[in-house]
Amino acid sequence: MSQSDAHSRAARVAALSGGSSGIGRAIAGAFRARGWKVALGARREERVRATVADLGGASDELYGGRLDVTDAASIDAFYDAARAALGPIDLVVNCAAHARPGAFFELSPEEIRSEIDSGLVGALLFSRRGVRDMLERGMRGDLIFISSTTAVVPWPFHTPYAASKAGVEQAARSISLELEGTGIRSTIVQVGNTVGTGWAGDWDAESMSVGVRWQKLGLIRHDGFMQPENVAHAVAVAVSTPPGFQLDLVSVHPEAPKA
């Protein structure tokens, strides 16, 4: 067995925010398929319970709990319970985020603040606790920041979300330098157009119609879209690289349908 194979199959204990639906849920499934322990959290407890049940039920290898990444106390409670159930965590995945399309000047101050808080501030707070625990134990580990094409391509009618993802990417790069020499790696996974996430489940008709504008601007160029499982595969590959090097940025985009 090569060093790469051995590392990819080594036992990991992962903490995921936004783990009850969409990409987060797919990542949890991919990790469990590799035999890794997973703690998944989200704000809606009923979704957390359903996801845990779908993945085999709560055990000493799978934990689910309520998690609000904008609340430091909620994060601490989640990590404490996850560590008690599964052991020390060495893999942190930031998936929590939400958004509603629209012209930024028509969004309420609360909506703008909520998107920034969940997508950017939440990622920093959730990672902060994970890093502190790993450093305290002298553990190697990985931080994954789920980002989006909106971080680097101007994406109108998604301004607060795009701003939060641009901030996440810069934070991830800065964190990587802060953690040099610790054995803890920081990786951005930048995601292109994906369906099947349930992310737009609460968008109204007006919000959904903005997709036509995105198509006209060339932001949606073809009918090819990824599924959450495609992104989960990329994340699993990124965190399975052996010690000694890291993937700073993994950009995952859908392939156009073959003509």
Residues with a catalytic annotation lie at 161
Among 86, 71, 67, 75, which Cα is nearest to 13's? 86
Nearest alpha-carbon partner for 70 in 48, 45, 43: 43
- Residue 180 burial class via C-beta count within 10 angstroms: exposed 0-12, middle 13-18, buried 19 and up: exposed
C-alpha 184 chain-centroid distance: 17
Question: Distance of CA 22 to CAs 37, 135, 188, 224, Å?
Answer: 19, 30, 18, 18
Alpha carbons 41 and 80: distance in angstroms, whole number: 12
Give the torsion through C-alpha atoms of 226, 232, 238, 243, to 10 deg.
Answer: -170
Q: What amino acid occupies position 201?
A: G
What does 223-236 look like in DSSP terms, one character per residue? S--B-HHHHHHHHH
d(CA 157, CA 163): 12
For residues 48 and 67, what is the distance between their CA atoms, to the nearest angstrom?
Answer: 10
